[in-house]
Structure 1
Amino acid sequence: MERLEKVVYLVRHCRASGQQPEAELTEEGKKQAQGLADFFKGKGVIHIVSSPYTRAVQSIAPAAEHLGLPVETDARLVERVLSTEDLPDWMEHLERSFSDSDKKLPGGESGREAAERGLEVLRSAPAQSILVTHGNLMALLLNHFEPDFGFEGWKALANPDIFEVRWTESERTIKRVMD
């Protein structure tokens, strides 16, 4: 009996000029996006889904062009909203949210809520897909597969970063394949 396996690449966007949805890639980020195009050559990618934020779409556009694939956008891949209020100590709140996935600040979403919306995309993506997202959501998704991947893992993420998520009926693994 053949073992069915699904591989999805989780990509954190390249360096950007800011955090706003319309923030574009920096010059360095544009060069990094070309590097992503080179990385994905020969990987057998058949599907690309990105956060609709400009920096995410721009990060994968060169790869999509090279692969001859469209970039589908999905709002479920946008960055997690920690809070809509100004939080001078936001880093402390973020750290606590990794140990309490139900922690929810005013106007924000809990880690569990954010992870669930991202997991919906991940579960429905065909094998050999690329999903382009943002650091906090990426860390929450990785934490789902590897519970030890938490706040320190989030802090160690690079722009860009790529993790391969591989799973079968009985096994799930994540592996950093580029940073």
Structure 2
Amino acid sequence: MNTTNIYFVRHALPDYSWLDDATMPLTQVGRDDSLAVLDSLKTLFFDFCISSPYKRTLQTIEPLVYEKKLKVHIDERLKERVRGNIGENGDVLLKKRWENFDFHEENGESMNSLQQRNMEVLSKILEQHRGETILFSTHGAALSSMLNYFDNGFGYLDFIRLQCFTPYVLKICFDKNDKIIDKEEILIIDKK
């Protein structure tokens, strides 16, 4: 069987006090935990590496990229969900976005939009890199939206579970028809 193995890496712990989402760096704890990502994946050979353009996703895979001498392909479509005006009802809005994928807060992005742009990238990778092993650095909402695409039973509570995992590595094996045939959680660092 000609399987494609993708290792999705959800970024390590960022500095949430940072105002600009795109340049938000990892905390020192997050940088230290990026070494756990290296340790969990260092025996693998990667044919292709792709990442969100955001600083925290790049910093999370930086030790692995350096050790493996990987070229990182950056795709703007893999950025985090555009956050709008959340106010004090952040948790209520979060749940509402999962109940209605077209819903978005003022100036924010819907889960449908997030899912569509991430799936455009993932579909192209599956088409162009069939049978290869891929490193894919991403965000919690983006990864959750892709998991929901393949299994609409993946919902709000599953996303809430992943929210605390920073970093998190999930291996997904796809068959030649781009169907998921296996999933394995490789690394979970729970920051509850």
- Which residue does the alignment assign to 1:89? 89
Give distance in 1, aligned partners of 2:178 and 2:70: 31
- Uncovered stretches (5+) of structure 2, i.e. residues with no partner: none
* CA deviation profile, 1:123-176 (whole Å, cap 9, x unmatched): 222231111111111111111122222111111110001111221127414332
Give distance in 2, aligned partners of 1:177 and 1:146: 20
**Residue type matched to 1:14 in 2?**
A
- Which residue does the alignment assign to 2:10? 12
- Over the matched positions of the two proteins, sequence identity in percent amounts to 25
Distance 1:170 1:75, change over 3 A: closer
Count of residues in correspondence between the two structures: 176
- The runs of at least 4 consecutive aligned structure 1 residues that moved more than 3 Å come to none
Give distance in 2, aligned partners of 1:32 and 1:76: 26
- Which residue does the alignment assign to 2:185? 176
* Cα distance, 1:36 vs structure 2: 0.9
Contact 2:148 2:154 in 1 (8 A): yes
* Cα distance, 1:67 vs structure 2: 0.9
Matches within 5 A, 1:10-159: 10-18=8-16, 20-83=21-84, 85-125=85-125, 126=129, 127-157=132-162, 158-159=165-166
Give distance in 1, aligned partners of 2:161 and 2:57: 19
* TM-score normalised according to structure 2 size: 0.84
Distance 1:146 1:177, change over 3 A: farther
Which SS does the other structure have where 1:33 is aligned? helix
Structure 1 residue aligned with 2:168, among 147, 150, 161?
161
Give distance in 1, aligned partners of 2:48 and 2:40: 15
Q: CA RMSD in A?
A: 1.7
Distance 1:145 1:177, change over 3 A: farther
* CA deviation profile, 1:66-87 (whole Å, cap 9, x unmatched): 111122211111111242x243
Distance 1:159 1:170, change over 3 A: closer
* TM-score normalised according to structure 1 size: 0.90
